[in-house]
Chain A
Amino acid sequence: QSVLTQPPSVSGAPGQRVTISCTGSSSNIGAGYDVHWYQQLPGTAPKLLIYGNSNRPSGVPDRFSGSKSGTSASLAITGLQAEDEADYYCQSYDSSSYVFGTGTKVTVL
């Protein structure tokens, strides 16, 4: 049972903006620990997408952005593209443990 809750799925048409929420608590995100996001394309290993709440590693398009407020964080994808269809996971820290979110499947209509 993950302590970080994400919506199971979100969808959007090409070019649209979608957001994925990551809801935690006072023992993880709310305690000041940063949130990181990963993209997992079908049949592949996860890839770091956002680190430190809002930072993009080299090579990640600026269509992806992250934010954090209180006990939650969000990942936004603007200008949705077919290649963005994947599973997305948030990750943080809680009580000496690393924790992943429940995962969100993004579907491009």
Chain B
Amino acid sequence: QITLKESGPTLVKPTQTLTLTCTFSGFSLSTSGVGVGWIRQPPGKALEWLALIYWDDDKRYSPSLKSRLTITKDTSKNQVVLTMTNMDPVDTATYYCAHVTGYSRGYYFDYWGQGTLVTVSS
């Protein structure tokens, strides 16, 4: 079965860079049509899509955060890494990674990790 798990720091200071790792099993990120995405959710607020990497290494970023985000994959390790620079307290949120599948008119997130809460505070 497909599982994903996020890991990384629970507390970062303002201006620091956040690095989160998504370690997954049950699928290969070299399989056509597959991707891994990152989504965050500030406490009590809605979901916000951040970034996505496809099997062919195509990468997509949220336009509002594009300058701060980098997503990479290590197919051999079954990992996807997200970095976010210049962290601010408003970036405090639970960060989720998710398996992506679908088709040209509709990719969606069918398996989700448990999420990791990242707090930005000095």
Contacts and interface: CB of A to CB of B under 8 A. Distances in A.
Interface stretch (B15-23, B67-75, B82-90, B102-110): B102-110
Contacts of B49: 91, 97-100
Interface string A88-102: 010111011111111
A29 B114 CA distance: 29
Interface string B47-60: 11100100000001
A39 B96 CA distance: 15
B30 to A, nearest CB: 21
Interface residues of B, number: 23
A47 B110 CA distance: 7
A100 B48 contact: yes
Contacts, number: 70
Contact of B105 (A33, A38, A46, A97): A33
Interface in A47-94: 47-48, 51-53, 57, 89, 91-93
A97 B48 contact: no
Contact of B107 (A45, A47, A98, A103): A98
Contacts of B114: 45
A51 B112 contact: no
Contact of A93 (B47, B107, B115): B107
**Which residue of B37, B109, B115 has the most chain A CB atoms within 10 A of its CB atom?**
B109
Given A36-B108, A48-B109, A102-B46, 14 more contacts: A33-B106, A34-B102, A36-B106, A45-B112, A45-B114, A46-B47, A46-B109, A52-B108, A89-B47, A91-B108, A92-B106, A97-B62, A97-B63, A98-B107
**Shortest 4 CB-CB contacts between residues of A and residues of B:** A34-B106, A36-B108, A98-B49, A45-B112
28 contacts: A2-B46, A33-B105, A34-B105, A35-B106, A40-B47, A45-B113, A45-B114, A46-B39, A46-B96, A46-B109, A46-B112, A48-B110, A51-B102, A51-B106, A51-B108, A52-B108, A89-B47, A92-B106, A93-B106, A93-B107, A95-B63, A97-B49, A97-B62, A98-B49, A100-B46, A100-B48, A100-B49, A101-B46
